[in-house]
Chain A
């Protein structure tokens, strides 16, 4: 009688292992995303926001607080352009797991410092429009003030449904130079983002809630 080689690996084992990695990754990913938000981040905040009908559209006004940490200011003054994102979402409000996203808008603004003229330049990345400011505070003040920005056309909204709007602002580290990107991803000084500021659009009557 010949002895036959022994094998000890099964498909079930492979599936188990992949499941383990997937579940583990989801847990760690959630922790990586949730933990920074749990910290009290006061540098980026949405101070106030509201929406109102403007002609055939819904417009929003918002006041954002944008402050950079020392490390970020240092990078800016050393010629590193910073990208600030303002995200706005409109969704049909139902039970929380059934909320339907109607519209999502992300505005990206690039802030750059010019040492020769000591000017801070803000560029809308979508339209390439540029604005020069003599100081960073001036630039931040302008960036933090949103007035009459078009949100969504009224005809896209059903008057019988309840809609929610949420807005937040953050420093988008994905536009940083590659060398800086990974470092910024794991540094709390670079993880600058506000929490979502949310209010309800009810029967086209803007009502501010938080």
Chain B
């Protein structure tokens, strides 16, 4: 409500108009007695209220400006300066005029009064007073004398005596009365005057005190009489009689005396009013000055605010634009120059907003495309690494981390070589990549074999492509499976063809040999017969052996479909191991830690794997007095995937070093009668289960009695883990 009342220029304009009107009315009312009585206090109240309102308005403006200055609001400094300038411009001339006016009033009013005139009037007054006193005294003496002469015997007084006294003294009327104003007798020059003019009781007071009394009345409309009151003592009595004589002043005397008295009174009145008059003028002038000053101060505030307002709006608008707020147009106050500026500013902001929107839109599109690309890259089976101009890793996708076995994202903005700190095995790969890049080859493609820390190998197809900005993009593809599949397919084809080509003639060979023996054995002598029998038996046996080999080839070539199911891998392993406990020559040592860990697998095929491996170990360590087989299980977390590790370690001579790299390839064996397909089948089964199998020799078998041995590690992915490893360990310990 207060804010509503005291805001806006029109409010103050109306207040000022009311104040001026009220002041005018006060001035007008001061001139008219009736208006003054009716309106003065009301107008005074109105004036006071309006003045208080004006002061409040200005104080409010001042307080607001102070707050704005404290908060460093745009335009507040300018407003302050303008207020100071405006107020100075208004106040200085006003104060000058005021001081001169005050001085002028003093001098003007003082000039009305002259010491000489005042003295002359005083003298005239004294002179008049002396003349009147002299006249009064003369008359009093005369009346007293005549009274003493004529009114000797009070008992014989008559109207004649009073007439004689009046005529001799030349007065207009004589009256004899008691001390209580009881008329005893009267004589007047006017015959028809019956009732004499009696003195007021107060006039008789001096007579009561024993003195005669004489008074003169010169008031306008008065009787212009000299009234002489003479006390006549009554013998032997305390009481007295009063003789009153009335003598009119001459018209001239009266006029002159009245004129002197009036002039003197008026002059004295003016002298007396000099101070209030000055005060009144000063008060009025001060009030007008105060009003003027307050108006000027407010006008200064208003004008400064009005001028600074568009500047403040512009500053705020600029600030908003700087902060990215383009949808806040500055309100247009006027159609003046500032209005034009604001219109231009708003137009500029609108265009900026349009540009910004377009930019935002294109940025959004770019972001969408980037997101799309990111999704595509994240879902690519190829690893992608982009390098900056300075050959630092700029971006990478998760597959790159999977392929390289290092979280590449951690090495963004670092050199590729930094990856070798975490995984030294990558050095060969990175060196070859960097060589190609440094040779400024725009496009290159190379197949690199990466040997992991566990000895497994990865076949990577690396492709590099130079970017326009000087950067580089490297695409890594893990083609291990592909290579393996190709190799498996090739070997399968070889096995199939071999089986097919060999199997067909084997039966006729065997039948022919048996027929030869059957037909000619009887006909031949004993010695030849023995030879034939031995030879045909050898042929038949070798053919059987070849049939076995062909069967093995056929099995390798076409393995049956896997029947996958979740099974406790450690339990399965130990079931197979348990079968060999009856062998006295074999000592089995266990270090198990993954009881309850489930693996998605074909139970039969995994049994085949474990049997093959244990049999291999037994055969390899057959020459030892005691075959020690160490079975270890543990869990492994690698690239956010959980694996179970099954390790079979024997105390045999280990794998031949020259075969170690290809030990899982078909037809690789060091056994005289081996087909070379056992470990190949094992590897194929493990890979079909998504696992990895690695063979290595160990040189330090602290746990085993013998010095060397072979170690086969199977790594299979975990489907689910029924129990935590710690729990499993606890179970085991207890």
Contacts and interface: CB of A to CB of B under 8 A. Distances in A.
B85 interface: no
Nearest to B34: A174
Nearest to A1: B350
Given A130-B219, A130-B222, A117 B261 contact: yes
Contacts of A128: 221
Interface in B185-227: 200, 202-203, 215-222
Interface in A155-210: 172, 174-175, 177-183, 185
Given A13-B11, A14-B10, A183-B279, A116 B41 contact: no
Nearest to B266: A79
A183 B217 CA distance: 33
Contacts of A14: 10-11, 14
A78 B271 contact: yes
19 contacts: A9-B10, A13-B11, A16-B5, A24-B45, A29-B42, A78-B272, A80-B269, A80-B272, A115-B265, A116-B261, A119-B217, A119-B219, A130-B222, A132-B217, A132-B219, A177-B269, A178-B31, A179-B277, A183-B279
Contacts of B203: 134
A191 B8 CA distance: 41
Nearest to A85: B37
Nearest to B260: A116
Contacts of B342: 3
A146 interface: no
Given A6-B332, A115-B268, 11 more contacts: A5-B334, A5-B339, A9-B10, A17-B14, A32-B45, A79-B266, A114-B265, A115-B125, A121-B222, A179-B273, A182-B30
Contacts of B8: 8-9, 13
Interface in B334-351: 334-335, 339, 342-343, 346
Interface stretch (B46-54, B536-544, B592-600, B617-625): B46-54
B184 to A, nearest CB: 24
A135 B202 contact: yes
A112 B334 CA distance: 65
A145 to B, nearest CB: 13
Given A5-B335, A78-B272, A182-B283, A17 B5 contact: yes
A182 B219 contact: no
A117 B42 contact: no
A56 interface: no
B218 A25 contact: no
Interface string A1-28: 0111110110011101100110011111
Nearest to A187: B276
Contacts of A80: 269, 272-273
A133 interface: yes
B580 interface: no
A14 B33 CA distance: 33
Given A178-B31, A179-B276, A183-B279, A117 B217 contact: yes
B703 interface: no
Contacts of B200: 133-134, 138
A95 interface: no
Nearest to A129: B221
Contacts of B50: 21
Interface string A72-113: 001100111000000000000000000000000000000011
4 closest A-B pairs by beta carbon, nearest first, are: A78-B272, A79-B269, A3-B332, A28-B45
Contacts of A177: 269, 273
Nearest to B41: A32
B631 interface: no
Contacts of A116: 125, 128-129, 132, 218, 257, 260-261, 264
Interface in A23-58: 24-29, 31-33
A175 B272 CA distance: 16
B332 A5 contact: yes
Contacts of B4: 12-13, 16
B18 A21 contact: yes
Interface of A: 2-6, 8-9, 12-14, 16-17, 20-21, 24-29, 31-33, 74-75, 78-80, 112-117, 119, 121, 128, 130, 132-135, 138, 172, 174-175, 177-183, 185
A119 B218 CA distance: 9
A147 B277 CA distance: 40
A186 to B, nearest CB: 8
Interface centre among A9, A17, A113, by most chain B C-beta atoms within 10 angstroms, is A17
A138 B202 CA distance: 8
B7 interface: yes
A25 B268 CA distance: 38
B222 A29 contact: no
Given A75-B272, A78-B269, A115 B264 contact: yes
A130 B40 CA distance: 30
Contacts of A24: 45, 49, 52-53
Contacts of A6: 331-333
Interface string B1-35: 10011111111001100100000000000110110
Contact of A21 (B53, B217, B266, B346): B53
A28 B219 contact: no
- Give the residue among B52, B132, B200 with the most A Cβ atoms within 10 A: B200
Contacts of B216: 117
Given A8-B8, A183-B276, A3 B269 contact: no
Nearest to A172: B37
Contact of B37 (A17, A115, A174): A174
A116 to B, nearest CB: 4
A185 B14 CA distance: 27
Interface centre among A6, A16, A114 (most CB of B within 10 A): A114
A135 B205 CA distance: 12
Contacts of A79: 264-269, 272
Contacts of A17: 5-6, 11, 14-15
Contacts of B45: 24-29, 31-32
B708 interface: no
B283 A115 contact: no
A32 B219 CA distance: 38
A180 B276 contact: yes
A116 B126 CA distance: 8
Interface in B300-341: 329, 331-335, 339
A181 B218 contact: no
B699 interface: no
B545 interface: no
Contacts of A133: 200, 202
A115 B261 contact: yes
B280 interface: yes
B11 A9 contact: yes
B221 A130 contact: yes
Nearest to A74: B272
Contacts of A179: 273, 276-277, 280
Contact of B40 (A74, A112, A185): A185
Nearest to A21: B49
Given A16-B4, A32-B45, A181 B331 contact: no
B164 to A, nearest CB: 30
Contacts of B129: 116
B98 interface: no
A173 to B, nearest CB: 8
B209 to A, nearest CB: 14
B449 to A, nearest CB: 70
B332 A117 contact: no
B84 to A, nearest CB: 26
A115 B263 CA distance: 11
A16 B271 CA distance: 48
